[in-house]
Structure 1
Amino acid sequence: MEPNSHTKLFLEVSALLTGFSKTELKATGMLETYYNTIQKNTDKQDIDYFFLDVHVLLNDKSKKNIEAALASQFMAASAYNGLAKNIIILWYTGNWGNDVVSSASYIQGLMWNAAHTHPPGAKQPGYGSWAERPLTVKNS
Protein backbone atom coordinates (compact mmCIF):
# COMPACT_ATOMS: atom_id res chain seq x y z
CA MET A 1 0.00 0.00 0.00
CA GLU A 2 1.50 3.34 -1.06
CA PRO A 3 1.89 6.30 1.33
CA ASN A 4 -0.54 8.64 -0.48
CA SER A 5 -3.20 5.92 -0.27
CA HIS A 6 -2.64 6.21 3.49
CA THR A 7 -3.74 9.86 3.32
CA LYS A 8 -6.99 8.83 1.64
CA LEU A 9 -7.54 6.07 4.20
CA PHE A 10 -6.68 8.50 6.99
CA LEU A 11 -9.44 10.82 5.79
CA GLU A 12 -11.94 7.94 5.45
CA VAL A 13 -11.22 6.45 8.86
CA SER A 14 -11.14 9.91 10.46
CA ALA A 15 -14.65 10.58 9.16
CA LEU A 16 -15.87 7.30 10.64
CA LEU A 17 -14.09 7.87 13.95
CA THR A 18 -15.17 11.50 14.43
CA GLY A 19 -18.68 11.43 13.00
CA PHE A 20 -17.87 14.38 10.72
CA SER A 21 -17.98 14.04 6.94
CA LYS A 22 -14.86 13.89 4.81
CA THR A 23 -15.82 17.29 3.38
CA GLU A 24 -16.09 18.81 6.87
CA LEU A 25 -12.72 17.37 7.84
CA LYS A 26 -11.05 18.65 4.67
CA ALA A 27 -12.61 22.08 5.28
CA THR A 28 -10.63 22.42 8.52
CA GLY A 29 -7.45 22.57 6.46
CA MET A 30 -5.80 20.20 8.95
CA LEU A 31 -5.77 16.92 6.98
CA GLU A 32 -2.13 17.05 5.91
CA THR A 33 -0.96 18.45 9.26
CA TYR A 34 -2.75 15.72 11.20
CA TYR A 35 -1.58 12.98 8.86
CA ASN A 36 2.00 14.22 9.29
CA THR A 37 1.48 14.37 13.06
CA ILE A 38 0.56 10.69 13.28
CA GLN A 39 3.48 9.83 10.99
CA LYS A 40 5.90 11.71 13.23
CA ASN A 41 4.56 10.44 16.55
CA THR A 42 3.55 6.83 15.88
CA ASP A 43 5.64 3.73 15.29
CA LYS A 44 5.83 3.00 11.55
CA GLN A 45 4.81 -0.62 12.05
CA ASP A 46 1.68 0.40 13.98
CA ILE A 47 0.75 2.86 11.22
CA ASP A 48 1.32 0.32 8.45
CA TYR A 49 -0.77 -2.38 10.16
CA PHE A 50 -3.47 0.16 11.09
CA PHE A 51 -3.88 1.33 7.49
CA LEU A 52 -3.69 -2.19 6.11
CA ASP A 53 -6.45 -3.32 8.47
CA VAL A 54 -8.54 -0.18 7.76
CA HIS A 55 -8.21 -0.88 4.05
CA VAL A 56 -9.37 -4.49 4.55
CA LEU A 57 -12.30 -3.37 6.73
CA LEU A 58 -13.50 -0.69 4.32
CA ASN A 59 -13.34 -3.08 1.37
CA ASP A 60 -15.01 -6.03 3.09
CA LYS A 61 -18.46 -6.14 1.51
CA SER A 62 -19.69 -8.65 4.10
CA LYS A 63 -19.39 -6.08 6.93
CA LYS A 64 -22.78 -4.46 7.34
CA ASN A 65 -21.86 -2.21 10.27
CA ILE A 66 -18.43 -0.69 9.75
CA GLU A 67 -18.73 1.49 12.87
CA ALA A 68 -19.27 -1.56 15.08
CA ALA A 69 -16.33 -3.33 13.46
CA LEU A 70 -14.17 -0.23 13.98
CA ALA A 71 -15.18 -0.09 17.63
CA SER A 72 -14.44 -3.74 18.29
CA GLN A 73 -11.21 -3.99 16.29
CA PHE A 74 -9.56 -0.57 16.53
CA MET A 75 -10.64 1.19 19.75
CA ALA A 76 -8.89 -0.90 22.39
CA ALA A 77 -5.99 1.05 23.91
CA SER A 78 -3.70 -1.83 22.97
CA ALA A 79 -4.78 -1.81 19.30
CA TYR A 80 -2.06 -0.11 17.24
CA ASN A 81 -0.85 1.62 20.43
CA GLY A 82 -4.14 3.53 20.75
CA LEU A 83 -3.85 5.13 17.31
CA ALA A 84 -7.63 5.28 16.66
CA LYS A 85 -8.27 7.06 19.96
CA ASN A 86 -5.37 9.42 19.32
CA ILE A 87 -6.80 10.28 15.90
CA ILE A 88 -10.14 11.17 17.49
CA ILE A 89 -8.46 13.35 20.12
CA LEU A 90 -6.30 14.98 17.45
CA TRP A 91 -9.28 16.00 15.32
CA TYR A 92 -11.42 17.17 18.24
CA THR A 93 -8.83 19.06 20.28
CA GLY A 94 -5.88 19.67 17.97
CA ASN A 95 -3.65 17.97 20.54
CA TRP A 96 -1.27 15.06 20.27
CA GLY A 97 -0.66 13.81 23.80
CA ASN A 98 -0.06 16.88 25.94
CA ASP A 99 1.02 19.08 23.04
CA VAL A 100 -1.08 21.41 20.91
CA VAL A 101 -0.09 20.65 17.32
CA SER A 102 -0.41 24.29 16.22
CA SER A 103 -2.46 27.41 16.78
CA ALA A 104 -4.52 26.42 13.73
CA SER A 105 -5.22 22.98 15.22
CA TYR A 106 -6.65 24.65 18.34
CA ILE A 107 -8.86 26.91 16.25
CA GLN A 108 -10.00 24.11 13.91
CA GLY A 109 -10.69 21.55 16.66
CA LEU A 110 -13.95 19.70 16.03
CA MET A 111 -14.94 20.18 19.66
CA TRP A 112 -15.99 23.74 18.84
CA ASN A 113 -18.31 22.61 16.03
CA ALA A 114 -19.68 19.78 18.14
CA ALA A 115 -20.51 22.25 20.93
CA HIS A 116 -21.91 24.84 18.47
CA THR A 117 -19.54 27.47 19.75
CA HIS A 118 -16.26 29.11 18.80
CA PRO A 119 -12.78 28.77 20.27
CA PRO A 120 -12.10 31.48 22.85
CA GLY A 121 -9.81 34.08 21.34
CA ALA A 122 -10.53 33.02 17.75
CA LYS A 123 -13.37 32.74 15.23
CA GLN A 124 -15.59 35.12 17.13
CA PRO A 125 -19.27 35.20 16.18
CA GLY A 126 -18.90 38.57 14.46
CA TYR A 127 -19.03 42.29 15.05
CA GLY A 128 -22.17 43.41 16.84
CA SER A 129 -23.39 39.88 17.57
CA TRP A 130 -23.59 40.82 21.24
CA ALA A 131 -26.48 43.14 20.37
CA GLU A 132 -28.70 40.26 19.25
CA ARG A 133 -30.65 38.23 21.79
CA PRO A 134 -29.59 34.56 22.02
CA LEU A 135 -31.83 32.15 20.16
CA THR A 136 -32.70 30.34 23.38
CA VAL A 137 -34.19 33.44 25.03
CA LYS A 138 -37.87 33.92 24.25
CA ASN A 139 -39.15 37.43 23.71
CA SER A 140 -41.81 38.44 26.23
Structure 2
Amino acid sequence: MSAELTGFTAEELYATGLVTEYRDLVAREAGPDNYARLVGGEPHTVPELVRAMTRLWYTGSWPGLRGGAGPYLVSARAYAGALVWRAAGTPAPGTTAPGFGSWSAPPPDGIPR
Protein backbone atom coordinates (compact mmCIF):
# COMPACT_ATOMS: atom_id res chain seq x y z
CA MET A 1 0.00 0.00 0.00
CA SER A 2 2.83 2.41 0.79
CA ALA A 3 4.23 1.92 -2.70
CA GLU A 4 0.86 2.89 -4.20
CA LEU A 5 0.57 5.92 -1.92
CA THR A 6 4.06 7.26 -2.54
CA GLY A 7 4.84 6.30 -6.13
CA PHE A 8 8.06 4.62 -4.99
CA THR A 9 8.55 0.88 -5.43
CA ALA A 10 8.43 -1.51 -2.48
CA GLU A 11 12.15 -2.11 -2.98
CA GLU A 12 12.88 1.63 -2.76
CA LEU A 13 10.82 1.89 0.41
CA TYR A 14 12.57 -1.09 2.00
CA ALA A 15 15.92 0.48 1.07
CA THR A 16 15.14 3.41 3.38
CA GLY A 17 15.37 1.05 6.35
CA LEU A 18 12.21 2.63 7.76
CA VAL A 19 9.51 0.10 6.82
CA THR A 20 9.36 -1.69 10.17
CA GLU A 21 9.60 1.52 12.18
CA TYR A 22 6.81 3.14 10.16
CA ARG A 23 4.59 0.03 10.25
CA ASP A 24 4.89 -0.12 14.04
CA LEU A 25 4.25 3.61 14.36
CA VAL A 26 1.13 3.49 12.16
CA ALA A 27 -0.23 0.48 14.05
CA ARG A 28 0.29 2.25 17.37
CA GLU A 29 -1.07 5.64 16.30
CA ALA A 30 -4.02 4.27 14.30
CA GLY A 31 -5.31 1.98 17.02
CA PRO A 32 -6.33 -1.63 16.50
CA ASP A 33 -9.64 -1.03 14.69
CA ASN A 34 -8.34 1.50 12.16
CA TYR A 35 -5.17 -0.49 11.58
CA ALA A 36 -7.20 -3.65 10.94
CA ARG A 37 -9.30 -1.76 8.36
CA LEU A 38 -6.16 -0.42 6.72
CA VAL A 39 -4.36 -3.75 6.35
CA GLY A 40 -7.59 -5.64 5.75
CA GLY A 41 -8.11 -3.96 2.41
CA GLU A 42 -10.39 -1.12 3.46
CA PRO A 43 -8.10 1.94 3.27
CA HIS A 44 -10.98 4.01 1.86
CA THR A 45 -12.61 3.84 5.32
CA VAL A 46 -9.66 5.57 6.99
CA PRO A 47 -8.71 8.46 4.67
CA GLU A 48 -7.15 10.51 7.48
CA LEU A 49 -4.84 7.60 8.27
CA VAL A 50 -3.93 7.11 4.61
CA ARG A 51 -3.03 10.81 4.29
CA ALA A 52 -0.98 10.60 7.49
CA MET A 53 0.95 7.61 6.15
CA THR A 54 1.75 9.41 2.92
CA ARG A 55 2.93 12.44 4.83
CA LEU A 56 5.01 10.20 7.11
CA TRP A 57 6.84 8.68 4.15
CA TYR A 58 7.50 12.00 2.46
CA THR A 59 8.51 14.06 5.50
CA GLY A 60 9.62 11.64 8.22
CA SER A 61 7.07 13.31 10.50
CA TRP A 62 3.85 11.96 11.93
CA PRO A 63 1.18 14.63 11.34
CA GLY A 64 -1.11 13.40 14.10
CA LEU A 65 -4.67 12.11 13.96
CA ARG A 66 -7.80 13.51 15.53
CA GLY A 67 -7.86 12.40 19.14
CA GLY A 68 -4.28 11.13 19.05
CA ALA A 69 -0.79 12.44 19.57
CA GLY A 70 -0.01 15.72 17.85
CA PRO A 71 2.54 16.12 15.07
CA TYR A 72 6.10 15.04 15.76
CA LEU A 73 9.34 14.23 13.97
CA VAL A 74 9.79 10.46 14.10
CA SER A 75 13.59 10.43 14.25
CA ALA A 76 16.70 11.95 12.72
CA ARG A 77 16.94 8.86 10.53
CA ALA A 78 13.35 9.36 9.34
CA TYR A 79 14.12 13.00 8.49
CA ALA A 80 17.19 11.98 6.49
CA GLY A 81 15.30 9.16 4.75
CA ALA A 82 12.19 11.19 3.92
CA LEU A 83 11.07 10.60 0.35
CA VAL A 84 10.87 14.31 -0.37
CA TRP A 85 14.68 14.36 -0.57
CA ARG A 86 14.78 11.41 -2.97
CA ALA A 87 12.09 13.01 -5.12
CA ALA A 88 14.14 16.22 -5.21
CA GLY A 89 17.35 14.31 -5.96
CA THR A 90 19.24 15.82 -3.04
CA PRO A 91 20.27 14.74 0.44
CA ALA A 92 18.39 16.19 3.39
CA PRO A 93 19.92 19.49 4.50
CA GLY A 94 22.42 19.03 7.29
CA THR A 95 22.83 15.28 6.77
CA THR A 96 25.83 15.06 4.46
CA ALA A 97 28.98 17.08 4.15
CA PRO A 98 29.66 18.63 0.76
CA GLY A 99 33.13 17.08 0.68
CA PHE A 100 36.64 18.21 1.47
CA GLY A 101 37.64 21.34 -0.41
CA SER A 102 34.23 21.84 -2.03
CA TRP A 103 34.32 25.45 -0.90
CA SER A 104 37.28 26.14 -3.17
CA ALA A 105 35.39 25.45 -6.42
CA PRO A 106 33.07 28.09 -7.85
CA PRO A 107 29.36 27.27 -7.77
CA PRO A 108 27.72 25.94 -10.93
CA ASP A 109 26.33 28.44 -13.41
CA GLY A 110 23.02 29.93 -12.34
CA ILE A 111 23.78 29.88 -8.62
CA PRO A 112 24.50 33.28 -7.07
CA ARG A 113 28.06 33.75 -5.92
User: What is the TM-score when the length of structure 1 is the normalising length?
Assistant: 0.64
* Amino acid corresponding to residue 4 of structure 2 in structure 1: L
Alpha carbon RMSD of aligned pairs, Å? 2.1
Instruction: Please give the secondary structure, in 1, of the residue aligned with 2:40.
Output: helix
CA-to-partner distance for each residue in 1:54-109, whole Å, 9 max, x for gaps? 6xxxxxxxxxxxxxxxxxx73xxxx3151111111011101112200111001100
Change (3 A) 1:132 1:33: farther
Deviations 1:11-44 (A, max 9, x none): xx11110011111111111011100110111121
Deviation at 1:125, TM superposition (A): 4.3
Question: Aligned pair 1:41/2:29, yes or no?
Answer: yes
Asked if the contact 1:107–1:123 (Cα under 8 Å) also holds between the matched residues in 2, the reply is: no
CA contact (8 A) 1:93 1:111 kept: yes
CA distance in structure 2 between the aligned counterparts of 1:88 and 1:127, rounded to whole angstroms: 36
Give the whole-Å Cα distance in 2 for the aligned partners of 1:96 and 1:127: 35
Higher relative contact order (CA 8 A, sep 6+): 1
The alignment covers a number of residue pairs equal to 102
Contact 1:86 1:96 in 2 (8 A): yes
Greater fraction of residues in helix:
1
User: For 1:129 and 1:38, how far apart are their aligned partners in 2?
Assistant: 40
Name the CA shift for 1:132/1:108 in 2 (closer, same or farther; >3 Å): farther
Q: Which runs of 5+ in 1 are unaligned?
A: 1-12, 55-72
Contact 1:46–1:81 under 8 Å retained in 2: no
Q: Unaligned 5+ residue runs, structure 2?
A: 64-70
Find the partner of 1:99 among 60, 65, 72. 72
Structure 2 equivalent of residue 117 of structure 1: 90
What amino acid is aligned across from residue 123 of structure 1 in structure 2?
T
Q: Is the 8 A contact 1:118 1:124 kept in 2?
A: no
Q: Distance in 2 between matches of 1:125 and 1:119?
A: 12
Structure 1 residues 53 and 101: alpha-carbon distance in aligned structure 2, compared to 1, 3 A threshold: same
Question: C-alpha separation between the residues in 2 aligned to 1:113 and 1:125?
Answer: 17
**1:52-63 alignment, distance < 5 Å:** 52-53=40-41
